Structure 1
Amino acid sequence: MQLRLSSGNILNEKVHKIGIIALGSFLENHGAVLPIDTDIKIASYIALKASILTGAKFLGVVIPSTEYDYVKHGIHNKPEDVYHYLRFLINEGKKIGVEKFLIVNCHGGNILIERFLKDLEYEFDAKVEMINITFTHASTEEVSVGYTIGIAKVNDELLKEHNNFKKYPEVGMVGLTEARKNNKIIDEEAKIVERFGVKLDEKLGKKILEDSINKVIEKIKELIR
Protein backbone atom coordinates (compact mmCIF):
# COMPACT_ATOMS: atom_id res chain seq x y z
CA MET A 1 0.00 0.00 0.00
CA GLN A 2 1.24 3.46 -0.88
CA LEU A 3 0.46 6.26 1.55
CA ARG A 4 -1.04 9.44 0.08
CA LEU A 5 1.54 11.79 1.52
CA SER A 6 0.55 14.70 -0.72
CA SER A 7 -3.08 14.86 0.46
CA GLY A 8 -4.45 17.55 2.71
CA ASN A 9 -3.43 21.08 3.60
CA ILE A 10 0.32 20.60 4.05
CA LEU A 11 3.44 22.55 3.15
CA ASN A 12 4.81 19.61 1.15
CA GLU A 13 5.42 15.88 1.57
CA LYS A 14 8.64 16.46 3.53
CA VAL A 15 6.64 17.87 6.44
CA HIS A 16 5.61 14.32 7.40
CA LYS A 17 9.18 13.83 8.65
CA ILE A 18 8.70 16.61 11.23
CA GLY A 19 7.23 15.80 14.66
CA ILE A 20 5.99 18.41 17.14
CA ILE A 21 5.98 17.74 20.89
CA ALA A 22 4.41 19.99 23.56
CA LEU A 23 6.26 20.46 26.84
CA GLY A 24 5.04 22.41 29.85
CA SER A 25 3.93 21.70 33.40
CA PHE A 26 0.75 20.12 34.77
CA LEU A 27 0.91 20.91 38.50
CA GLU A 28 1.90 24.49 39.13
CA ASN A 29 0.07 27.31 40.93
CA HIS A 30 -0.80 30.28 38.69
CA GLY A 31 -2.67 32.66 40.96
CA ALA A 32 -6.42 33.25 40.96
CA VAL A 33 -7.20 33.45 37.23
CA LEU A 34 -5.10 30.73 35.56
CA PRO A 35 -5.28 26.94 36.02
CA ILE A 36 -2.47 24.81 37.42
CA ASP A 37 -1.78 23.29 33.99
CA THR A 38 -1.48 26.64 32.21
CA ASP A 39 1.97 25.96 30.76
CA ILE A 40 1.13 22.66 29.06
CA LYS A 41 -2.16 24.01 27.70
CA ILE A 42 -0.43 27.00 26.13
CA ALA A 43 2.34 24.77 24.74
CA SER A 44 -0.20 22.30 23.35
CA TYR A 45 -2.25 25.07 21.74
CA ILE A 46 0.78 26.56 19.99
CA ALA A 47 2.22 23.20 18.94
CA LEU A 48 -1.07 21.79 17.65
CA LYS A 49 -1.95 24.99 15.77
CA ALA A 50 1.46 25.00 14.06
CA SER A 51 0.97 21.34 13.22
CA ILE A 52 -2.45 22.04 11.68
CA LEU A 53 -1.16 24.96 9.61
CA THR A 54 1.87 23.08 8.24
CA GLY A 55 0.98 19.40 8.21
CA ALA A 56 3.75 18.45 10.65
CA LYS A 57 2.86 15.54 12.94
CA PHE A 58 1.63 16.49 16.41
CA LEU A 59 3.07 13.73 18.60
CA GLY A 60 1.43 14.81 21.85
CA VAL A 61 2.57 16.09 25.23
CA VAL A 62 5.26 15.26 27.74
CA ILE A 63 3.64 14.56 31.12
CA PRO A 64 6.63 15.07 33.46
CA SER A 65 8.16 18.52 33.89
CA THR A 66 11.12 19.81 35.85
CA GLU A 67 12.09 22.95 37.73
CA TYR A 68 14.99 24.61 39.52
CA ASP A 69 15.04 23.29 43.08
CA TYR A 70 14.75 26.81 44.51
CA VAL A 71 11.49 27.56 42.67
CA LYS A 72 8.69 26.19 44.83
CA HIS A 73 5.29 26.84 43.26
CA GLY A 74 4.24 23.37 42.14
CA ILE A 75 5.04 19.67 41.88
CA HIS A 76 7.76 18.77 39.40
CA ASN A 77 9.98 15.90 38.39
CA LYS A 78 13.67 15.31 37.83
CA PRO A 79 15.16 16.36 34.48
CA GLU A 80 15.88 12.69 33.86
CA ASP A 81 12.13 11.91 34.03
CA VAL A 82 11.45 14.39 31.23
CA TYR A 83 14.34 12.91 29.25
CA HIS A 84 12.99 9.36 29.53
CA TYR A 85 9.51 10.45 28.42
CA LEU A 86 11.02 12.21 25.42
CA ARG A 87 12.90 9.01 24.58
CA PHE A 88 9.58 7.17 24.43
CA LEU A 89 7.95 9.77 22.17
CA ILE A 90 10.94 9.99 19.85
CA ASN A 91 11.25 6.22 19.61
CA GLU A 92 7.57 5.92 18.65
CA GLY A 93 7.86 8.88 16.29
CA LYS A 94 10.70 7.21 14.43
CA LYS A 95 8.41 4.23 13.79
CA ILE A 96 6.01 6.44 11.80
CA GLY A 97 8.70 8.10 9.73
CA VAL A 98 9.55 11.17 11.82
CA GLU A 99 13.20 12.16 11.49
CA LYS A 100 13.20 15.65 13.03
CA PHE A 101 11.61 16.50 16.36
CA LEU A 102 10.64 19.98 17.54
CA ILE A 103 9.80 20.45 21.22
CA VAL A 104 7.61 23.47 22.02
CA ASN A 105 8.34 24.33 25.65
CA CYS A 106 6.29 26.83 27.65
CA HIS A 107 7.71 26.21 31.14
CA GLY A 108 10.93 27.92 32.16
CA GLY A 109 12.17 25.12 34.40
CA ASN A 110 12.24 22.70 31.50
CA ILE A 111 15.23 24.55 30.08
CA LEU A 112 17.17 22.19 32.37
CA ILE A 113 16.58 19.33 29.91
CA GLU A 114 18.41 21.06 27.05
CA ARG A 115 21.57 19.22 28.07
CA PHE A 116 19.92 15.93 27.03
CA LEU A 117 19.01 16.96 23.49
CA LYS A 118 22.34 15.98 21.94
CA ASP A 119 22.13 12.61 23.67
CA LEU A 120 18.70 12.05 22.10
CA GLU A 121 20.02 13.04 18.68
CA TYR A 122 22.92 10.60 18.99
CA GLU A 123 20.83 7.71 20.30
CA PHE A 124 18.08 7.96 17.71
CA ASP A 125 20.05 9.44 14.80
CA ALA A 126 17.48 12.23 14.60
CA LYS A 127 17.34 16.01 14.79
CA VAL A 128 15.97 17.20 18.14
CA GLU A 129 15.43 20.91 18.82
CA MET A 130 13.53 22.89 21.45
CA ILE A 131 11.83 26.27 21.18
CA ASN A 132 11.34 28.02 24.53
CA ILE A 133 8.29 30.29 24.72
CA THR A 134 8.11 31.43 28.33
CA PHE A 135 6.66 34.34 30.28
CA THR A 136 7.00 35.96 33.68
CA HIS A 137 5.04 33.51 35.81
CA ALA A 138 1.28 34.20 35.96
CA SER A 139 1.84 37.84 35.02
CA THR A 140 0.32 40.12 32.36
CA GLU A 141 1.68 38.23 29.32
CA GLU A 142 0.67 34.78 30.55
CA VAL A 143 -2.74 35.95 31.79
CA SER A 144 -3.39 37.64 28.43
CA VAL A 145 -2.34 34.57 26.42
CA GLY A 146 -4.38 32.34 28.73
CA TYR A 147 -7.41 34.55 28.20
CA THR A 148 -6.92 34.43 24.42
CA ILE A 149 -6.97 30.63 24.29
CA GLY A 150 -9.82 30.42 26.80
CA ILE A 151 -8.20 28.99 29.94
CA ALA A 152 -8.19 32.16 32.08
CA LYS A 153 -11.19 33.24 34.14
CA VAL A 154 -10.89 36.99 34.37
CA ASN A 155 -13.07 39.68 35.92
CA ASP A 156 -12.27 42.76 37.99
CA GLU A 157 -12.73 40.97 41.30
CA LEU A 158 -10.59 37.96 40.36
CA LEU A 159 -7.88 40.10 38.83
CA LYS A 160 -7.71 42.18 42.00
CA GLU A 161 -7.37 38.98 44.02
CA HIS A 162 -4.73 37.70 41.58
CA ASN A 163 -2.65 40.78 42.42
CA ASN A 164 -2.62 39.88 46.11
CA PHE A 165 0.98 38.70 46.24
CA LYS A 166 0.74 37.61 49.87
CA LYS A 167 -2.09 35.20 49.06
CA TYR A 168 -0.63 34.21 45.68
CA PRO A 169 3.18 34.47 46.09
CA GLU A 170 3.74 32.61 42.82
CA VAL A 171 2.32 35.50 40.74
CA GLY A 172 5.37 37.07 39.14
CA MET A 173 7.25 34.96 41.72
CA VAL A 174 6.99 38.10 43.85
CA GLY A 175 6.65 36.15 47.09
CA LEU A 176 9.06 33.33 46.25
CA THR A 177 11.97 34.64 48.31
CA GLU A 178 14.30 31.71 47.67
CA ALA A 179 13.80 31.88 43.91
CA ARG A 180 14.41 35.63 43.82
CA LYS A 181 17.54 35.25 45.92
CA ASN A 182 19.00 32.55 43.67
CA ASN A 183 18.03 33.89 40.24
CA LYS A 184 18.71 37.47 39.15
CA ILE A 185 16.29 37.29 36.20
CA ILE A 186 13.45 36.06 38.40
CA ASP A 187 14.12 38.88 40.85
CA GLU A 188 14.15 41.53 38.10
CA GLU A 189 10.87 40.24 36.66
CA ALA A 190 9.31 40.13 40.14
CA LYS A 191 10.24 43.76 40.72
CA ILE A 192 8.41 44.76 37.53
CA VAL A 193 5.29 42.83 38.60
CA GLU A 194 5.46 44.40 42.05
CA ARG A 195 5.60 47.86 40.49
CA PHE A 196 3.01 47.56 37.73
CA GLY A 197 0.84 44.65 38.82
CA VAL A 198 -0.86 42.11 36.55
CA LYS A 199 -3.35 43.29 33.94
CA LEU A 200 -5.38 41.74 31.15
CA ASP A 201 -4.31 42.97 27.71
CA GLU A 202 -6.32 41.16 25.03
CA LYS A 203 -4.40 42.77 22.17
CA LEU A 204 -1.09 41.72 23.69
CA GLY A 205 -2.32 38.18 24.26
CA LYS A 206 -3.38 37.76 20.63
CA LYS A 207 -0.10 39.18 19.35
CA ILE A 208 2.05 36.95 21.56
CA LEU A 209 0.07 33.90 20.52
CA GLU A 210 0.25 34.74 16.82
CA ASP A 211 3.98 35.48 17.04
CA SER A 212 4.61 32.23 18.94
CA ILE A 213 2.74 30.11 16.41
CA ASN A 214 4.57 31.82 13.55
CA LYS A 215 7.89 31.20 15.30
CA VAL A 216 7.16 27.47 15.40
CA ILE A 217 5.99 27.47 11.78
CA GLU A 218 9.20 29.17 10.65
CA LYS A 219 11.25 26.58 12.50
CA ILE A 220 9.24 23.80 10.81
CA LYS A 221 9.99 25.36 7.41
CA GLU A 222 13.66 25.56 8.37
CA LEU A 223 13.69 21.88 9.34
CA ILE A 224 12.10 20.93 6.02
CA ARG A 225 14.85 22.75 4.10
Structure 2
Amino acid sequence: MLRPPKLAPSAWQVYFTDWIQRQQASSSRKLTVAEAAKEAGRDYANLTQAEKEPYIRRFQAAMDIRERSLNAYMHTLTPDDIKRENAFRSAQRKAGKSRKRNIKDPNAPKRPLSAYFMFLQRIRASKELVKEVFGDETETTRQSVLAAARWRGMTDEERKPFLAQAELEKMEYEAAMRLYEAYELSTNLTVVDGAAGEGFATD
Protein backbone atom coordinates (compact mmCIF):
# COMPACT_ATOMS: atom_id res chain seq x y z
CA MET A 1 0.00 0.00 0.00
CA LEU A 2 1.38 3.39 -0.99
CA ARG A 3 2.02 6.16 1.53
CA PRO A 4 1.31 9.49 -0.16
CA PRO A 5 1.66 12.81 1.71
CA LYS A 6 -0.99 13.28 4.38
CA LEU A 7 -4.07 15.35 3.69
CA ALA A 8 -3.90 18.98 4.73
CA PRO A 9 -5.73 19.77 7.99
CA SER A 10 -9.01 21.62 7.52
CA ALA A 11 -9.56 25.11 8.91
CA TRP A 12 -11.42 23.52 11.82
CA GLN A 13 -8.56 21.11 12.51
CA VAL A 14 -6.08 23.99 12.49
CA TYR A 15 -8.28 25.84 14.98
CA PHE A 16 -8.71 22.74 17.15
CA THR A 17 -4.94 22.23 17.34
CA ASP A 18 -4.50 25.84 18.45
CA TRP A 19 -7.38 25.50 20.90
CA ILE A 20 -5.80 22.47 22.56
CA GLN A 21 -2.46 24.26 22.84
CA ARG A 22 -4.15 27.27 24.46
CA GLN A 23 -5.97 25.01 26.91
CA GLN A 24 -2.79 23.19 27.85
CA ALA A 25 -0.99 26.48 28.42
CA SER A 26 -3.73 28.22 30.42
CA SER A 27 -5.82 25.54 32.13
CA SER A 28 -5.27 22.52 34.33
CA ARG A 29 -8.53 20.89 33.22
CA LYS A 30 -8.24 17.39 31.86
CA LEU A 31 -10.59 16.76 28.96
CA THR A 32 -11.08 13.71 26.80
CA VAL A 33 -10.64 14.21 23.07
CA ALA A 34 -14.41 14.01 22.62
CA GLU A 35 -15.02 16.63 25.32
CA ALA A 36 -12.35 18.92 23.91
CA ALA A 37 -13.72 18.57 20.38
CA LYS A 38 -17.25 19.34 21.56
CA GLU A 39 -16.19 22.45 23.48
CA ALA A 40 -13.84 23.67 20.77
CA GLY A 41 -16.54 23.01 18.19
CA ARG A 42 -18.91 25.35 20.00
CA ASP A 43 -16.22 28.02 20.20
CA TYR A 44 -15.41 27.65 16.52
CA ALA A 45 -19.07 27.86 15.53
CA ASN A 46 -19.34 31.17 17.39
CA LEU A 47 -16.42 32.75 15.54
CA THR A 48 -17.21 35.41 12.97
CA GLN A 49 -16.13 34.87 9.39
CA ALA A 50 -13.34 37.41 9.92
CA GLU A 51 -12.13 35.47 12.97
CA LYS A 52 -12.16 32.22 10.98
CA GLU A 53 -10.23 33.76 8.10
CA PRO A 54 -6.70 33.17 9.55
CA TYR A 55 -7.48 29.48 9.96
CA ILE A 56 -8.87 29.30 6.44
CA ARG A 57 -5.70 30.90 5.07
CA ARG A 58 -3.54 28.43 6.97
CA PHE A 59 -5.63 25.58 5.59
CA GLN A 60 -5.22 26.90 2.03
CA ALA A 61 -1.46 27.26 2.52
CA ALA A 62 -1.28 23.68 3.80
CA MET A 63 -3.34 22.54 0.82
CA ASP A 64 -0.93 24.20 -1.61
CA ILE A 65 2.03 22.51 0.06
CA ARG A 66 0.26 19.16 0.04
CA GLU A 67 -0.64 19.45 -3.64
CA ARG A 68 2.99 20.17 -4.56
CA SER A 69 4.21 17.30 -2.39
CA LEU A 70 1.64 14.92 -3.85
CA ASN A 71 2.54 15.89 -7.41
CA ALA A 72 6.23 15.29 -6.70
CA TYR A 73 5.43 12.00 -4.96
CA MET A 74 3.26 10.73 -7.82
CA HIS A 75 6.09 11.27 -10.28
CA THR A 76 8.34 8.97 -8.24
CA LEU A 77 6.00 5.99 -8.67
CA THR A 78 6.75 3.28 -11.19
CA PRO A 79 4.04 1.61 -13.31
CA ASP A 80 4.40 -1.47 -11.09
CA ASP A 81 3.83 0.63 -7.96
CA ILE A 82 0.63 1.99 -9.48
CA LYS A 83 -0.57 -1.42 -10.69
CA ARG A 84 -0.07 -2.92 -7.24
CA GLU A 85 -1.83 -0.01 -5.56
CA ASN A 86 -4.75 -0.16 -7.98
CA ALA A 87 -5.08 -3.92 -7.47
CA PHE A 88 -5.16 -3.29 -3.72
CA ARG A 89 -7.77 -0.55 -4.08
CA SER A 90 -9.89 -2.72 -6.34
CA ALA A 91 -9.83 -5.54 -3.78
CA GLN A 92 -10.73 -3.09 -1.01
CA ARG A 93 -13.69 -1.77 -3.00
CA LYS A 94 -14.96 -5.27 -3.74
CA ALA A 95 -14.72 -6.11 -0.04
CA GLY A 96 -16.67 -2.97 0.81
CA LYS A 97 -13.78 -1.58 2.85
CA SER A 98 -13.01 1.46 0.72
CA ARG A 99 -14.38 3.62 -2.06
CA LYS A 100 -11.05 5.00 -3.23
CA ARG A 101 -10.73 5.28 -6.99
CA ASN A 102 -7.76 3.92 -8.89
CA ILE A 103 -4.86 6.29 -9.37
CA LYS A 104 -3.45 7.30 -12.74
CA ASP A 105 0.18 7.14 -13.73
CA PRO A 106 1.16 10.81 -14.20
CA ASN A 107 4.16 9.84 -16.32
CA ALA A 108 2.33 7.58 -18.74
CA PRO A 109 1.09 8.74 -22.16
CA LYS A 110 -2.39 10.20 -21.96
CA ARG A 111 -5.25 8.04 -23.19
CA PRO A 112 -6.75 9.53 -26.37
CA LEU A 113 -10.30 10.76 -26.75
CA SER A 114 -12.97 8.54 -28.24
CA ALA A 115 -14.54 9.47 -31.57
CA TYR A 116 -17.60 10.83 -29.77
CA PHE A 117 -15.56 13.05 -27.46
CA MET A 118 -13.60 14.35 -30.44
CA PHE A 119 -16.95 15.24 -31.97
CA LEU A 120 -18.01 16.95 -28.74
CA GLN A 121 -14.71 18.82 -28.61
CA ARG A 122 -15.26 19.97 -32.19
CA ILE A 123 -18.67 21.38 -31.26
CA ARG A 124 -17.37 23.28 -28.25
CA ALA A 125 -14.56 24.80 -30.32
CA SER A 126 -16.99 26.41 -32.77
CA LYS A 127 -19.48 29.14 -31.85
CA GLU A 128 -21.55 28.24 -34.88
CA LEU A 129 -21.77 24.56 -33.92
CA VAL A 130 -22.48 25.42 -30.29
CA LYS A 131 -25.45 27.49 -31.43
CA GLU A 132 -26.56 24.87 -33.95
CA VAL A 133 -26.38 21.88 -31.60
CA PHE A 134 -27.03 23.40 -28.17
CA GLY A 135 -29.21 26.36 -29.09
CA ASP A 136 -29.68 28.46 -25.96
CA GLU A 137 -28.99 25.55 -23.61
CA THR A 138 -26.15 26.38 -21.19
CA GLU A 139 -26.43 23.54 -18.68
CA THR A 140 -23.57 21.08 -19.29
CA THR A 141 -25.57 17.90 -18.69
CA ARG A 142 -28.31 19.00 -21.08
CA GLN A 143 -25.70 19.96 -23.67
CA SER A 144 -24.24 16.45 -23.42
CA VAL A 145 -27.69 14.97 -24.05
CA LEU A 146 -28.14 17.16 -27.13
CA ALA A 147 -24.68 16.31 -28.45
CA ALA A 148 -25.29 12.58 -27.93
CA ALA A 149 -28.56 12.83 -29.83
CA ARG A 150 -26.79 14.61 -32.70
CA TRP A 151 -24.06 11.92 -32.74
CA ARG A 152 -26.60 9.11 -32.88
CA GLY A 153 -28.37 10.81 -35.77
CA MET A 154 -25.22 11.17 -37.89
CA THR A 155 -24.55 8.92 -40.87
CA ASP A 156 -21.52 6.63 -41.04
CA GLU A 157 -19.99 9.02 -43.55
CA GLU A 158 -20.42 11.97 -41.18
CA ARG A 159 -18.85 10.02 -38.33
CA LYS A 160 -16.00 8.72 -40.47
CA PRO A 161 -13.47 11.57 -39.87
CA PHE A 162 -13.88 11.29 -36.09
CA LEU A 163 -13.66 7.50 -36.11
CA ALA A 164 -10.55 7.58 -38.29
CA GLN A 165 -8.84 10.16 -36.10
CA ALA A 166 -9.76 8.24 -32.96
CA GLU A 167 -8.33 5.03 -34.41
CA LEU A 168 -5.11 6.79 -35.41
CA GLU A 169 -4.66 8.33 -31.98
CA LYS A 170 -5.44 5.00 -30.33
CA MET A 171 -2.68 3.32 -32.34
CA GLU A 172 -0.25 6.12 -31.46
CA TYR A 173 -1.21 5.82 -27.80
CA GLU A 174 -0.71 2.05 -27.75
CA ALA A 175 2.71 2.44 -29.38
CA ALA A 176 3.67 5.15 -26.89
CA MET A 177 2.53 2.94 -24.01
CA ARG A 178 4.65 0.03 -25.24
CA LEU A 179 7.68 2.30 -25.40
CA TYR A 180 6.91 3.74 -21.98
CA GLU A 181 6.49 0.34 -20.35
CA ALA A 182 9.65 -0.96 -22.03
CA TYR A 183 11.58 2.09 -20.82
CA GLU A 184 10.30 1.68 -17.27
CA LEU A 185 11.16 -2.02 -17.32
CA SER A 186 14.68 -1.38 -18.60
CA THR A 187 15.17 1.36 -16.00
CA ASN A 188 14.06 -0.94 -13.20
CA LEU A 189 16.33 -3.73 -14.45
CA THR A 190 19.27 -1.34 -14.61
CA VAL A 191 18.66 -0.29 -11.01
CA VAL A 192 18.36 -3.90 -9.87
CA ASP A 193 21.48 -4.95 -11.77
CA GLY A 194 23.38 -2.02 -10.33
CA ALA A 195 22.26 -2.86 -6.82
CA ALA A 196 23.22 -6.51 -7.32
CA GLY A 197 26.63 -5.51 -8.56
CA GLU A 198 27.21 -3.33 -5.53
CA GLY A 199 26.03 -6.08 -3.21
CA PHE A 200 28.56 -8.61 -4.52
CA ALA A 201 31.50 -6.27 -4.87
CA THR A 202 34.62 -7.67 -3.18
CA ASP A 203 37.02 -4.75 -3.55
Structure number with bigger Rg: 2
Give the number of the structure with larger relative contact order, counting CA–CA contacts within 8 Å between residues 6 or more apart: 1
Quick check: which one's helix share is greater? 2
TM-score by length of 2: 0.24
TM-score by length of 1: 0.22
